[in-house]
Amino acid sequence: MQSNILICGVGGQGIVLTSKLIAAAAMEKDIPVMSAETIGMAQKGGSVFSFLRLGDDIYCPMFPEKTADIIIGFEPAEAVRMLPYLKDGGKIVLNTHPIMPVTATLSGSDYTGREMIEYLQRNVEDVTLVDGDRACEEIGSPKVLNMVMLGAAVRNDVLPFTIDEIEDIMKKTVKPQFVELNSKALRY
């Protein structure tokens, strides 16, 4: 069994932590795991991606185009940017809330995210839309977006884990006072 997972979005959305959590869940089940992400110049506001591979016979963390089983997109345009990596028949779990780049503000371009969502829906059969903004508002914290997204991805049956397994790992990772909030987000 091998899974290639691509998580993408914008710096500050909690992508790296999501990737670490999936890796920890794999370690717990003794599944070999590798990952790679952008770090360095990509700080707050830059495009961020994390490649994650689970299973045997893996040489490198980065996988070739058209081989991702799932893209967990925290931002519509970022999911479109990484779409070439999705395999035929692969799935997308997408947060519908767009993040405007500074350059769009300067040039007065009217990026809304809508055109990205429609493009993905036209070109990929299995797209799960998540209203991450509303979810965070209902749960009561903007910091749980990554758990909302991870929960939605797990329910898609692509990752070799159950919600309970992810929850157990989460409990070991986050501070005790945030466990309840994150559990709610995972099961949103």
Give contact residues for other proteins (rule: CB under 8 A). Answer: 10, 20, 23-24, 26-27, 32-37, 39-47, 57, 59-65, 77, 80-81, 83, 88, 100-106, 108-109, 111, 115-116, 119, 122-123, 142
CB of 39 to other proteins, least distance (A): 6
Task: Return the SS3 of 100.
Answer: coil
Cβ proximity to other proteins, 86 vs 93, nearer residue = 86
Alpha carbons within 13 A on the beta-carbon side of 171: 9
Q: How far is the CB of 122 from other proteins (least distance, A)?
A: 7
**Nearest distance in Å: CB 93, other proteins:** 19
* Smaller CB separation from other proteins, 129 or 155: 129
Q: Which residue has the tokens 């110049």?
A: 41
Q: CB-wise, 46 or 140, nearer to other proteins? A: 46
Contacts with 116 (C-beta within 8 Å, 6 or more apart), sequence order = 76, 77, 79, 80, 98
**What are the residues whose beta carbons fall under 8 Å from the beta carbon of 173, sequence distance 6 or more?**
17, 20, 21, 24
Tokens of 43: 């700080």
The least CB distance from residue 23 to other proteins, in Å, is 5
Name the residue nearer to other proteins (CB basis): 83 or 149: 83
Distance (Å, whole) CA 79 – CA 82 = 5
